[in-house]
Chain A
Amino acid sequence: MLAAMDDAAAATDDGSPGVLTAFRLGAGAIAPILVSVLPFGLIAGLAAGAAGLGPAEASGFSVIVFAGAAQLAALDLLGAGAPLLVVVGTALVINLRMAMYSASIAPHLDGQSLPRRLLAAYVLTDQSYAVSVVRFARHDLDARGRYAFYLGAAAPMWLSFQLATIAGAFGGVAVPAGLPLGFVVALAFLSLLLPSITDRPTVAAALTAAAVAVGASGLPANAGMPLAALTGVGVGWVLATRRRRRIAAGDQP
C-alpha cells in the first residue's frame, strides 16, 4: 500500500504532479479561504434555529443543498412563513450561477467517469470552482491531477461547512457581532478575481459584470448576480471573438 501511495504522489511521466500531490495542492489552495467559510456555516446553523427549526433541518440543508447563500435566504423566508414556492424559487435563482461554474469547469474534468463528475457537481461552490479554474489556467496538471486538485479544494470546504453548521445549530457558538463577514468573503473572491483577468476581454467582462451587479443589487432573490455575470460573459465574449477574427484576418490584436 505504501508503494501505491508513493506511486500516487510521484510525478507522472509527463512531469505533472501525482494524484495525491494534486489533492494536497487543492487543499492548500482552499485553506486560507476556509476561514471565511466557517462563519457562514455557523450562521447557517444559527439561522435554522432562528427560523424555528432544529439541528436536523440545519444539517439537512447543509448536506442536501450545500449552498450557504441560498440556505440563508430559504431559512429567512421559511421563518417568515413564506409560501413553499417562493422559498424554493428564491433559493434556486440564487444558485443559478452554479450553471456557469458547471459549464466553465466541465471541459477541465472531461474524461472522468460519470459518478466522479456527479460527485464533482455535488461539491461545486464559488470558492472551490474559483481556485480550481485559476490553477487550471496554468496548464500544469493532467486530467487526473485536475480532478484530484478540485476534490482537494472541495472536500475540506464541504467538511468544514457541515461541522460549522452543526456547531451553529447546537448553539453556544456565536459569531462576533462586529465582523464584516460579507466583506471577508468578498476579499477571498477579490484575490481570485485578479488572476482571472488576463487580457482586455476579461477586463471588460469583469467591469461590465461589476457595473451591472452594483446597479441591479436591489433585485429580489439576488437575481442581480447571475444577470451581471451573464452580461459580463457576453461583453467579454464579443471582444474576444472580435479579436480572434482580427488575428485570423492578419491584423494586429
Chain B
Amino acid sequence: MIAKAWWAIVVIGAGTFAVRASFLVFAEKVGRVPVGVQDALRMVPAAALAALVAPAVLRPDGDWEPFGPRALAAVAAIVVAWRTGSVLATMGFGLVAVLVLDALVG
C-alpha cells in the first residue's frame, strides 16, 4: 500500500508538472501572441473561476439550491466584492453571511 501510494505520488506529480509546464516551456520567445489566441486566453480567468465558484455556490453536495444559504451569501458577497474590491472583506462577509443563514435555515 505504501509502495502503491508512492507510485501514485510520483506519477501524479510528474503528470501534473507536465501539465503546469506545458505552455510555460514554450514561453521563451512568445513575442507576439496571435490576436485570436490573446482573445481566447483573456477568457480563461473568467471562465475558470466561474466554473470553480458556481457549483460550490449553487449545487453544494450535489443538490440544486439556487436560493440556499450559500447562494444568498454569495449574492451578498458579490455586492461586497464589487463595492470594496477587497478579497478579505468578501471572504469574511460571505463566511459570516453563510453561517448566519445556515443557522436561520437549519
Contact = CB atoms under 8 A, between A and B. Distances in A.
State whether these chains interact.
yes
Interface of A: 29, 32-33, 35-36, 51-54, 57, 60-61, 64-67, 70, 74, 78, 84, 87-88, 91-92, 95-107, 109-112, 114, 117-118, 120-122, 124, 126, 129-130, 133-134, 178, 180, 182-197, 201-203, 205-214, 217-218, 224-226, 228-233, 236-237, 240-241, 244
B85 to A, nearest CB: 7
Contacts of A104: 41, 44-45
Interface of B: 1-2, 4-13, 15-17, 19-31, 33, 35-36, 38-60, 62, 64, 70, 73-74, 77-78, 81-82, 85-88, 90-91, 94-95, 98-99, 102
Nearest to B48: A229
Task: Give the secondary structure class of B's interface.
Answer: helix
Contacts of B81: 190-191, 194
Contacts of A97: 48
Contact of B53 (A64, A91, A99, A193): A193
A61 B47 CA distance: 28
Nearest to A57: B5
Nearest to B52: A189
Given A103-B44, A107-B30, A213-B54, A52 B1 contact: yes
